[in-house]
Structure 1
């Protein structure tokens, strides 16, 4: 009896598409979210936090690329941890990635609503956020090439806009403004300042969060072993440059404390320099939306592929592993993540905890998922180097084992400090993980009946043995 055909995605993306996805997934982090770090650490304290996190991400991406090129799978981190540690390891990495990618879009959608509210004060930001979900889920359903080309276009526009922002506000920039009261507690050596540096970690991570999501498009990329390394390395260098440029220029134009708890720090910073009625300001609001849209649209692509891969391997209901025969996109997976995201937008009483705004807590929840996934991915890299030394690795992590060790240690430190400063959000994160594990524990039959996948199989044979 012949085996049924595998459920596959279409390989149609170029390296330029993948760079656009890698940068586009993240670039909204330059437009909002990071300024909450100023409230926690001050400008100088948050600058220290951002330097530490930039080191973590740079070493992580150079290491992560080894896994992506060796195992070009739509599940990304799920596939790497599954191959290294078996089904339970795959569950931990896959579910953590799912939390990261499902909770990031509602935070971005709320920021889209806030940006639109600048132009249309009568518009409810939450309704605008829901409208964004409807529009961009539809675009993702239309086809991956259409979606990725759109992602590339708006990512380029978003980068241009950030450069324009830096240029327009530069006449009003002063390092004295940026450094004024720049440490939490007043001094860089005080316990309050050190505490603030660590408390601000989630918001520095937001500058770079989700760049790893491009790995989930590797299965749809032409010649991934060559294009993925170039796209990832160019992507992280682009984002580090934009993150520091945007943050420093915005903080030096006036009273930075007025920008510390808003969803639209760039328009507010530009107002200080050019006034409320400048054409530059209106351009920033409208074109600035492209940055938010690029990440929002790209992360919808990312979460849908993660849901698809988990379902295909038997970790979620198999209905989410179906692909539309015409568009070749996982329609049900796209819609499922959207339902959760829209629910989060309207969950103020549940998620607005710890005295922080709704958006800040959604950001923190997403970051918890990311950090757990980073830890699992680096652990998988070390494990696979030992257990599968002959695995074909078109790209090898430079300075091994130093780079992956730096990324792993930084991620562990970030996780511990985030738990300390965000106990309630972490409890909610653990609650979601518990629900996921209950489903995993009682659905072994789904994994037994899942289609064979050589990339997940340690022995790389057709008779895959699941060890639960």
Structure 2
């Protein structure tokens, strides 16, 4: 093993824990902002559309992950399919997704803790979360993945408990009351709301593809990754629909939209604020946020690492410590995230809260990456028909085409409804591309180093 290689230590269960853990905070918060723009029924339509996209995407993406197990994930697939330009587009988009998602989760962690400790500043709690979980990731991937698995299992169990506890207070009439942004599904306001809510429906599933970035650290990735991904997407679709419907039917759903802690507030309406169930949800609910926060730190660090190792970012970010983890990459993403946390209330982006803005920025990166990944799948099927594929996308070419078409639709809708953030995203991509154009010699030196490791 060379100084630029990651150690394979992860099995199927670890990878399932990473895949679900990366996402599961999306079941705890963030999605309810979609109610604010689409209503419960409108957002249900959006969520079902996005669930179809993700299911088709994961079944297709798994073919790439098993054929090309690489810490760069989508960067590696697009690089192989479309060369350096394709690689940098997918790599930068993935990096934006994974760097901008953690600040939103960190602020939600602060909000959950603020429920128990009203005097605690959510920003300070968010920064504390960054310091703790960056440190855990620096100590080693096996320790980090085992921790991720434990907190993910607890987080899944807690969501099931939440649904069971609030079920006696559920009323379908509450869920459907004023459920469209307009007067009915055919109203232009309702249709507009359905499309405007896309980022928050994607938040239910955002980052599941991050398990691909642990592919170099997976034992027998051609078998373990498909099992983890398929089990993961089934887990998440079930939880997303269950949590949203049960939370929306316990009272006035409008009081739960546009807040960072909808589940504790929904449970409070059923059992009261002094119930032991309520306290359990707040504390165990933190595991869901922690699972995603911790897992996405792992994901962004591997993306920084892969891009730097290939010469697309400063080579110092590819340095490994004695625990064989990319500590500089972990710290780099943390610095960006902490800066974003402290910008809350200082920078106003289209009138959004920091959480909503960070979610939307992360989703822009994700959607561009999904499009590049599906295009890479089609390209590699033609250009490398003999590439070893232990898992082949079922229903090809229809299934990946569905994922691609819905992803393009989502991107168009997001640009339409989030023009300022779209320009910021484009600006970040442009800065990265300029760096790419100026560092051809750096990439050539990195390629030579990888071809002849010492």
TM-score, scaled to structure 2: 0.98
Q: CA deviation at 1:352?
A: 2.9
Q: CA deviation at 1:349?
A: 5.5
- Kept in 2, the 8 Å contact 1:6–1:451? The answer is no
- 2:22 pairs with 25, 30, 34, which one? 25
- Kept in 2, the 8 Å contact 1:31–1:292? The answer is yes
- Kept in 1, the 8 Å contact 2:36–2:254? The answer is yes
Which structure 2 residues correspond to residues 236-247 of structure 1 after superposition, within 5 A?
236-247=233-244
Q: CA deviation at 1:5?
A: 4.1
Q: Match for residue 74 of structure 2?
A: 77
Change (3 A) 1:86 1:144: same
Q: CA deviation at 1:7?
A: 1.0
The CA distance in 1 between the partners of 2:139 and 2:12, in whole Å, is 21
Q: CA deviation at 1:351?
A: 4.7
- Kept in 2, the 8 Å contact 1:45–1:188? The answer is yes
Quick check: 1:335 aligned with 2:344?
A: no
Q: Match for residue 459 of structure 1?
A: none
Which structure 2 residues correspond to residues 11-410 of structure 1 after superposition, within 5 A?
11-324=8-321, 326-348=322-344, 351-410=347-406
The CA distance in 1 between the partners of 2:352 and 2:210, in whole Å, is 27
Change (3 A) 1:350 1:399: farther
Quick check: 1:435 aligned with 2:454?
A: no
- Kept in 2, the 8 Å contact 1:79–1:90? The answer is yes
The secondary structure found in structure 2 opposite 1:96 is: helix
The secondary structure found in structure 2 opposite 1:59 is: helix
The secondary structure found in structure 2 opposite 1:348 is: coil
Q: Match for residue 9 of structure 1?
A: 6
- Kept in 1, the 8 Å contact 2:3–2:320? The answer is no
Residue by residue over 1:158-198, the C-alpha shift from the partner in whole angstroms, topping out at 9 and shown as x without a partner, is: 00000000000000000000000000012111000000000
The CA distance in 1 between the partners of 2:270 and 2:299, in whole Å, is 37
Where in structure 1 are there 5+ consecutive unaligned residues?
455-461, 464-468
Where in structure 2 are there 5+ consecutive unaligned residues?
none
Change (3 A) 1:414 1:453: farther
Q: Match for residue 458 of structure 1?
A: none
Q: Match for residue 417 of structure 1?
A: 413
- Runs of at least 4 residues off by over 6 Å: none
Q: CA deviation at 1:453?
A: 8.6
Q: Which moved more, 1:194-203 or 1:344-353?
A: 344-353
The CA distance in 1 between the partners of 2:448 and 2:96, in whole Å, is 26
Change (3 A) 1:335 1:317: same
The CA distance in 2 between the partners of 1:351 and 1:334, in whole Å, is 25
Pairwise CA RMSD: 1.2
Change (3 A) 1:6 1:452: farther
Change (3 A) 1:453 1:214: farther
The CA distance in 1 between the partners of 2:342 and 2:265, in whole Å, is 25
Q: CA deviation at 1:254?
A: 0.2
The CA distance in 2 between the partners of 1:135 and 1:186, in whole Å, is 47
- Kept in 2, the 8 Å contact 1:105–1:299? The answer is yes
- Kept in 2, the 8 Å contact 1:311–1:317? The answer is yes
